[in-house]
Amino acid sequence: MRTGWLSWVRTNDKTIIDMLENQGANLVKTTSSLVELLSYYDTLGERKSRIKDLEHEGDKITHNIFAITSQTFVTPLDREDISRLTTAIDEVVNYIDGTADKLIMFKIKEPTPYMTELAKVLLSASQEIYFLLKRLRNFKDANDLIGHCRTIRKYEHEGDTIYRKAIAELFETNTNAIEIIKLKDVYENLESSIDRCQDSADIVEDIALKYG
C-alpha cells in the first residue's frame, strides 16, 4: 500500500526531468544558432528569427516546469533547486537572444573574431549543461556531476580571458566612441551568457552534494 502511495505522489518525476532535459536541448540549439549566425553573418535576419523562436520555446518550457512543480506534491529534486536551475538556464537563452538583438539594433556590420570565440566557448559550456541535465535522472556519484561542473568553470574562466582581451584591444583602436560602446555591449552580453552557464553549474553542484 505504501509503495503504491509513493508511486502516486511521484508520478511527475519523469515528466519534470524530461522537461529539464528539453530545456537543456533547447539551450544547445540556441547557442548553436548563435555560432551559426556569427559564422554566416550574411543571413543575420533569418538566423536571428530562429534564435527568437528558440527563446520563445525556452519560455514555454520554463513556464511548464514552474507549473508542474507547483502542482506536484513530491518533486524529484527540491522545488527551490528546480526553480533556480530552470531560471538560470532560461537567463542564458535570454542573453543569447539579447546578443542577437544588439547585433541588429546596433547595425554591427560584421562580427569580430572575439565574438565568435566567446560564442564557441558558450556553446561548449551549454553542451556541458545539457550533459549534466541528462545525468540528473539516475546519478549516484556526486563526483561525476561535480567534474563536469568544474569543466564549465574552466569555460567561464576562458570566456573571461577572451572578454578582457577583447575590451583591451577595443580601447586601443581608433574606433569612434559610439562604435566602442556598441561592441563593448555585445561583448558584455556574450560574457554574461557564459557567467549564467556557470551559475547553472553551481546549482547542479549544490544538487550533487545534497543528493549524491
Whether the per-residue pLDDT at 152 is higher than 70: the answer is yes
Mean pLDDT value of segment 12-41:
93
Asked if residues 30 and 54 have their Cβ atoms less than 8 Å apart, the reply is: yes
pLDDT at residue number 74: 65
Alpha-carbon span 34 to 143, nearest angstrom: 31
Mean pLDDT value of segment 173-192:
92
Whether the per-residue pLDDT at 1 is higher than 70: the answer is no
- What would the grid cell of residue 211 be? 543528493
Highest mean pLDDT among 4-18, 78-92, 130-144, 185-199: 185-199
Express as a percent the part of the chain with pLDDT over 70: 92
Domain-wise residue ranges, the chain: 2-211
pLDDT at residue number 212: 62
Nearest CA among 159, 48, 177 for reference residue 114: 159
Taking all residues of the chain, what is their mean pLDDT, rounded to a whole number?
Answer: 89
Helix (H), strand (E) at residue 86: helix 79-105
Whether the per-residue pLDDT at 5 is higher than 60: the answer is no
Across 132-167, b (16+ Cβ under 10 Å) vs e yields: bbebbeebeeeeebbebbebbbebbebbeebbeebb
The CATH number of the structural domain formed by 2-211 is 1.20.58.220
Predicted confidence band of residue 203 (pLDDT cuts 50, 70, 90): very high
> Which one has a higher pLDDT value, 132 or 211?
132
Predicted confidence band of residue 210 (pLDDT cuts 50, 70, 90): confident
pLDDT at residue number 14: 81
Predicted confidence band of residue 71 (pLDDT cuts 50, 70, 90): confident
Helix-helix angle 142-170:113-135, to 10 degrees: 170
Mean pLDDT value of segment 9-17:
69
